[in-house]
Amino acid sequence: MGGPVFKLLFLHAAYNYNRARFFMLRKWLGDRAKFGAGADVWADCFRMKGQGVVEIGPGCAVERGPFPFAVELERGSLLKIGQNTWVRGKYRPNVITCFEDARVEIGEDSLLNGTIISSRRNITIGRSAALSWNTTIIDSDLHQMDSDSPIRSAAVTIGDFVMIGTGATVLPGVNIGAHSVIGAGSVVREDVPSHVVAAGNPARVLREIGARTDCL
């Protein structure tokens, strides 16, 4: 036991098990979830509630791991994940919440590696973005600051080829330019230009960098 033949049999059984579970998941979700061709979703790690819609693009992967990909979408909301994006649950769960009529769009070839995203309005993440574990992106204050004030919200935009380090927080109304890197533990409350490294609380530009087109 434990040799290559056993491992091959185990992988084959796991593959068939997930195919059956994924089939049942798609039937249960119905029109609330659309999966592109070749989407590889480990069904036991994908959890969805609410009446919104999720679109998972072709070639996307929700990997098998200790932590789930949990999605809560209120009525009229949309979560759109571009093709070949990888959702990894090795270190922390990925959690995306869309309130009523909100929209979250994640570009193709991106990586979610234990990220929390909460949207009341609109969050757009470009292609080939890399979001590390314990990162948080919000486009609202989530609660009122006082009894006489409404909940403040403002759209967030994160450009192509952006990397956000572990434990960083992106606050409402922020725009992060393409090819920029946000350091671990940073709190981003103002816009960050393209092609820079920014870090700190509040995040400040530290230096300029070149293109990240071929970065892992």
**146 domain-assigned:** yes
Q: pLDDT grade, residue 105 (50/70/90)?
A: very high
**14 domain-assigned:** no
**1 domain-assigned:** no
Of the chain, the percentage scoring pLDDT greater than 70 comes to 97
**55 domain-assigned:** yes
Q: Cβ of 194: how many Cβ atoms within 10 Å?
A: 17
**18 domain-assigned:** no
How many alpha carbons fall within 13 Å on the CB side of residue 207? 3
| Res 145: pLDDT | 87
Q: Cα separation of 78 and 154, whole Å?
A: 17
| Res 2: pLDDT | 60
**120 domain-assigned:** yes
Q: Is the pLDDT of residue 1 over 60?
A: no
- Three-state secondary structure call for residue 33: strand
- Three-state secondary structure call for residue 58: coil
- Which CATH number is 84's domain given? 2.160.10.10
One of 12, 143, 179, 195 is an active-site residue; which one?
143
**73 domain-assigned:** yes
Instruction: For residue 155, give both structure tokens.
Output: 């759209």
Question: What is the rounded average pLDDT of the residues 90-119?
Answer: 97
Contact 193, 162 (CB under 8 A): no
Q: pLDDT grade, residue 32 (50/70/90)?
A: very high
Examine the residue annotation and report whether 12 is marked as an active-site residue of this protein.
Answer: no
For the chain, what is the domain count? 1
pLDDT tens, 158-194? 999 999 999 999 999 999 999 999 999 999 999 999 9
Domain limits at 132?
A: 33-208
Q: Cα separation of 117 and 132, whole Å?
A: 12
Question: What is the rounded average pLDDT of the residues 58-64?
Answer: 95
| Res 136: pLDDT | 98
With a CB cutoff of 8 Å and minimum separation 6, the contacts of 159 are 126, 129, 175, 176, 177, 178, 179, 180, 194
**216 domain-assigned:** no
